[in-house]
Amino acid sequence: MVAPIYTPTKRIYSCDDDFFKEGNIALRAYWLERDAAADLDIDMIRQEATTLTNVFNYRPIFCELPSCIHRHGEPIAFPSLSAYEAHYEAQHRNTCSICGLPFPGSHWLQLHLDECHNVLNQIRKDRGEKIYECYVESCNKQFSTPKMRRLHLIDKHHYPKFFPFDLVVTGTLSIADRQQRRQKGKSRKNPNQHHTTKIIKESVKEADNIETHSLSSDPMAMDIDALTTGISRINIPSSISFGRGRKSAWTRSRQQHDINHTGNAISKNNPSMSDTQPEIFKPNRRQRRLADGTTRTTMDIE
């Protein structure tokens, strides 16, 4: 038998305690209305009594149950009685007496007790029997794994894929707690990827710091960058070209250089040939004609 959560106890309050304050305001307003001489005075008395009652009721209501204090570190304040009742129904009405987890309803609490704290069901699970029941109360299906139950709920009962299917194990969690739990699950599935991403980010950050430090400390690097920028801005005339596309202006000098280079190479390879056989000059046809014309002109002059 489960022990009751609340045990009534006798409490004695003084006459000036806040417990009687709202009743004192209503009683004083009643006596003042009875002794009022005009309707205007009655309206003023009622308005003042309503204002005092609202101010008194505006005081927050604190939840001082051990589960809330353990979870949040201090009692939680609620602005009204209806807000406190909604909190109590969601967090304390259906609470597991073994692990203290809250659940949104009695059906979820019973599923949690059967799957997590029932020893007989654990033995049945070890034997390979189906112990995981469908979340829909009107469905009698049972499954061997939570994954099969999740696929059944999505396919047959059209549950959304983002539904917290682990609610039976985790209990009622806030949105922030559930997102943190999901991130922890992803980091467990891909620990190497998370570690690699962290290393890459650290290496890129370190490289940026090194580059920034080197540029700020080394003036030569800054001068080289400025020189490169200045060279890129120089306008090269169209008459000068590099590589193919235009005839070279130094064709004759290049050819003469090649001839001299070839002769020097031959003389180096055959030194005896250069010493014994002097170079014989043989004029070509044009030079012979020019020489004949010059000789004839000289003879005519004589």
pLDDT reading at 226 higher than 60: yes
pLDDT reading at 77 higher than 80: yes
Indicate the number of domains in the chain.
1
Mean pLDDT of 52-65: 78
Let me know: does 79 contact 55? Beta carbons within 8 Å. Answer: no
**Which has more confidence, 18 or 239?**
18
Mean pLDDT of 228-237: 65
Report yes or no on 66 lying in a domain: yes
Report yes or no on 279 lying in a domain: no
In the chain, the percentage of residues whose pLDDT exceeds 90 is 17
The mean pLDDT of the chain is 74
Let me know: does 169 contact 116? Beta carbons within 8 Å. Answer: yes
Query: Of 135-139, 233-237, 269-273, where does mean pLDDT reach its minimum?
Result: 269-273
Query: Of 107-121, 160-174, 223-237, 246-260, where does mean pLDDT reach its minimum?
Result: 246-260
The domain containing residue 83 runs over which residues? Answer: 59-93
pLDDT of 274 reads 47
pLDDT of 299 reads 56
Report yes or no on 71 lying in a domain: yes
Report yes or no on 271 lying in a domain: no
Distance CA 139, CA 152 (A): 11
Report yes or no on 218 lying in a domain: no
**Which has more confidence, 22 or 108?**
108
Report yes or no on 68 lying in a domain: yes
Mean pLDDT of 53-68: 79
In this prediction, residue 40 has a pLDDT band, given cuts at 50, 70 and 90, of confident
Report yes or no on 88 lying in a domain: yes
**Global pTM?**
0.43
In this prediction, residue 232 has a pLDDT band, given cuts at 50, 70 and 90, of low
Mean pLDDT of 219-231: 62
**Which has more confidence, 43 or 274?**
43
- Nearest-5° Cα angle at 155, 152 to 158: 110
Distance CA 20, CA 186 (A): 55
Report yes or no on 156 lying in a domain: no
